[in-house]
Amino acid sequence: MKLTIINGPNLNLLGSRETDIYGNQDFETFFNSLRSKYSNINLEYHQSNVEGELINFIQDSRDSDGIIINAAAYTHTSVGIGDAIKAIDTKVIEVHISNTFSREEYRHNSYLSPVVDGIIIGFGLKSYELAIESFLPKDE
Ligand code: DQA
């Protein structure tokens, strides 16, 4: 199974950016721990601060079994990212590290939420892990 994680603007600064909200861990270290934990999954990771590059990543990842996307601030502004998700058949999960609904009102709107398959918000970096788990078969 191939899953692609796509991170938007300023998430390259995780670990030093607003650590009270986003924590102390940088994403590369976290991503390596995900790769070790889910060694049976082909995990890809892309990050960009540029809206159009995120759209290219979405289009280029449509061969994945799933996309896990944190569009960061573009979540609240980008019709283009919403349209890119609508344009592909791949299953897409929207994630956020912080609980966007307990923050400023402008973070309450998402152009992604109406067009994704699922949403995981507010569990810190664990949000990404929960999103990966959603693609795994249920243990019965
Ligand atoms: C974020 C929430 C967004 O509102 C913010 O702009 C981010 C990160 C999160 O993961 O909590 O950059 O997507």
**What domains are defined for the chain?**
2-135 (3.40.50.9100)
pLDDT digits (tens, 9 = 90+) for 83-113: 999 999 999 999 999 999 999 999 999 999 9
* pLDDT interval class at 138 (50, 70, 90): confident
* pLDDT interval class at 140 (50, 70, 90): low
The alpha carbon of 107 and the centre of ligand 1 are apart by a number of angstroms equal to 8
Q: Whose CA is nearest to atom 2 of ligand 1?
A: 72
Task: Give the catalytic positions in this structure.
Answer: 22, 96
pLDDT at 44: 98
pLDDT digits (tens, 9 = 90+) for 25-63: 999 999 999 999 999 999 999 999 999 999 999 999 999
Q: Considering the chain, what is the average pLDDT of its residues?
A: 97
pTM score, two decimals?
0.97
Atom of ligand 1 nearest to the CA of 98: 11
The three-state DSSP-derived secondary structure of 40-97 is CCEEEEEECCCHHHHHHHHHHCCCCCEEEEECHHHHHCCHHHHHHHHHCCCEEEEEEC
